[in-house]
Chains A and B, each alone.
Chain A
Amino acid sequence: MGDETASPSAAAAPARRAPVARRAGLFARGTEEGLWRWSARVASVVPLAGLAFVLAVLAVKAWPAIKVNGPGFLTRSSWIPGSTYANPVVTNGVAHPAGASYGAWPLIAGTLQTSVIALIVALPISIGTAFALTERLPPWLAKPLGFFVEVLAGIPSVIIGLWGVLTLGPFLAAHVYPLIANHVPNVPVLRYFRGPTGYGEGLLTSGLVLGLMIVPIIASTTRDLFLQVPPLPKEGAEALGMTEAEVARRVTIPWVRSGIIGATVLGLGRALGETIAVAMISGSVLGTISPNIFGTMSTVAATIVSQLDSAATDGTGFAIATLAEAGLVLAVISVIVNVAARVIVNNSSRHVAPVGRG
């Protein structure tokens, strides 16, 4: 702002600025502002540069694997590292162990399946929780409970994984899954819920735990959004004779819809990329899709973390490259979800004015 007035005579400017400059201490006026501007601009570029670096490294590392695995990588269901004792074979100019055959389809499917289960569980629970916290409970109870829900978002995933694999999984496998598996009718679609229930490691447990992990994200955002809805429209709706449920469905939720979508996608992003908890709970089975909802499986992220150790023993570096390709697939999924969320939120917020960021 000050720059415009002083610009005509650069020589005269310092004299007029002197008192302020002295008060500014270490930096002369302008110098300090320049320092702030310069350093802040550099810092703001770091995420973009970091993201570009990450994607570039992934692409470069994955390139040999892409050349050998081909487009079938996305559709094949196998995870065979090949023989590391035999001489490497060369395909398309890339050396790899003989018999290596990688396909990420079960992992991609597992990632999507667990995330969908998590969303199906988390979205209604989150909205119900937000509603209970904002409309139903007295403030002295709602405040600490709301804080508790927020805190849950910070519980380390390795600890949720520990609980999932040692306590929740065995409990569900012993007391809940058999009930479902034995009583669901043997008809198409529902047949998916029948069959062996395993020991609590697998698709459904992973999905449920992921759901618990993303509930705090969606619920606390939704609660904040509900609190931002002005009382007048709600009171008006009530005056028209609507019940609380009808007010929620017709006024409150539509008012903040795009914010809820934003928060949901944020949660979806976390579910898609969650690594450690799923690696502990999924059973880490590569190369097959679970025949029913209780079966063991794995996701892209969990596979990268559980396979990187053994991949490093592949002398040709092909296993490492394949993991880069898997990482690239996961990165692309996560970027698509994120960008789609921005588009959805931008589009729908045009109709509903007062929306906080998701």
Chain B
Amino acid sequence: MAHVTGAYPPTRGRRVREVAFRTLSAVALLFVIGPSIWLIADVVVRAVPHWRWDVLTTVPLGTGGGLENAVLGTLVIMVGVLVIAGTVGVLSGIHFAELARPRRSGRAGGAALRTATEVLSGFPSIVLGYVGYVALCVGLHWGFSLLPALIVLSLMVTPYIAKSTESALRQVPTSYREGADALGMSTGYALRKVVIKSALPGIVTGLLIALAIAVGETAPLLYTAGITNTLPSASLIHQPIAYLTYYVWTDYNQPIKSTQYLSFDAALILVVLVLALLVVSRVLVNRTQRHAEGRR
């Protein structure tokens, strides 16, 4: 870091290049931070001046109303994704980190599973949404509803959860497993009581980030969840469900101001929700790291 800055190189060309390099890296940082602050400030400035708290407690009505349906719908979708993608993702992370025999996960069968997970994590979300629409909403006659939306979103974030779970588990020291083994614990019991327990904060962090991704998605939901002005119901199929990103996407260019405002309000709620999830996940990471150092 702050080292021999006084000992500048002798030739002029090298000196110029050094200064240019330092300047450009600072400029690069500004080009990231600047637009990002601009973006977040823009969302706040568009929403806050006309913010009404009853946006959270009323449903859209004509050209006004609120977003209660979308806020609750988004929360329902979060819970659903947590249940489906959380279960599948964490279990498949456990498989890759703990249970799959190393030789197999390196080649042939295991390699196919890994490649599929990698490919899926970079897969265009609208294509997943299209398949959800064609195969589930139309093909299985589920209509626009919660279940196809959850399936598509879960498929999207499962690879992420699997990967973060795997790396959290890999950070658990081998000595923990050996100690558990020496105490006569069965593999399954040790896995539950020792390994997963130590990796839990890392796993939860992955889940929170996956939720933040799921909350911010629009493309996979547009043609699977549909839209409705009513509050979420208990039915998994045949009943459309509202979500926040829909209003941002649809209402921003409507001719009537009050409708546009719904779009900006939805954007603000989304940003707050996503930032909250990410900050909590970061706090968890910090706590785990402190924990890990203390233990060692």
- Bound together: yes
Chain B binding site: helix, strand, loop or mixed by DSSP?
helix
Interface, chain B (partner A; CB < 8 A): 1, 3-4, 8-9, 14, 17-18, 20-22, 24-29, 31-33, 35-36, 38-40, 42-43, 46, 87-92, 94-96, 98-100, 112-113, 115-120, 122-131, 133-135, 155, 158-159, 162, 181, 184-189, 191-192, 209, 212-213, 215-219, 222-223, 245, 248-249, 252-253, 263, 267, 270-271, 274-275, 277-279, 282
**A327 surroundings in chain B (CB, below 8 A):** 124, 126-127, 130-131
Whether A54 touches B131, Cβ cut-off 8 Å, given contacts A43-B95, A148-B33, is yes
B202 to chain A, nearest CB (A): 15
Q: Which residue of B lies closest to A235 (CB)?
A: B3
19 contacts between A and B (CB under 8 A): A1-B181, A40-B98, A43-B92, A47-B92, A47-B113, A50-B155, A54-B131, A54-B155, A61-B134, A133-B29, A155-B36, A155-B40, A156-B218, A156-B245, A159-B271, A305-B222, A323-B130, A324-B130, A337-B122
Q: Which of A31, A44, A273, A320 has the most CB of B within 10 A?
A: A44
**B89 surroundings in chain A (CB, below 8 A):** 43
**B113 surroundings in chain A (CB, below 8 A):** 44-45, 47-48
Q: How far is the CA of A171 from the CA of B181 in the complex (A)?
A: 64
Is A180 on the interface with B (CB-CB < 8 A)?
no
B30 to chain A, nearest CB (A): 9
Q: For chain A, which range describes its interface: under 10, 10 to 19, 20 to 34, or 35 or more residues?
A: 35 or more
A34 to chain B, nearest CB (A): 7
**B184 surroundings in chain A (CB, below 8 A):** 20
**Is the pair A162, B43 in contact by a Cβ cutoff of 8 Å?**
yes
Chain A binding site: helix, strand, loop or mixed by DSSP?
helix
**Is the pair B212, A154 in contact by a Cβ cutoff of 8 Å?**
yes
**Is the pair A40, B32 in contact by a Cβ cutoff of 8 Å?**
no
**Is the pair A334, B32 in contact by a Cβ cutoff of 8 Å?**
no
- Interface 9-mer from A72-80, A91-99, A238-246, A286-294: A238-246
B168 to chain A, nearest CB (A): 14
A114 to chain B, nearest CB (A): 13
A244 CB contact (under 8 Å) in B21, B95, B129: B21
**Is the pair A47, B159 in contact by a Cβ cutoff of 8 Å?**
yes
- Interface 9-mer from A81-89, A102-110, A123-131, A187-195: A123-131
**Is the pair A145, B43 in contact by a Cβ cutoff of 8 Å?**
no
**B209 surroundings in chain A (CB, below 8 A):** 154
Q: Which residue of B lies closest to A46 (CB)?
A: B88
Q: Which residue of A lies closest to B177 (CB)?
A: A1
**Is the pair B245, A158 in contact by a Cβ cutoff of 8 Å?**
yes
A243 CB contact (under 8 Å) in B14, B39, B133, B219: B14
Is A248 on the interface with B (CB-CB < 8 A)?
yes
B120 CB contact (under 8 Å) in A36, A50, A167, A238: A50
Is A257 on the interface with B (CB-CB < 8 A)?
no
Is A319 on the interface with B (CB-CB < 8 A)?
no
B89 to chain A, nearest CB (A): 8
- Interface 9-mer from A22-30, A63-71, A347-355: A22-30
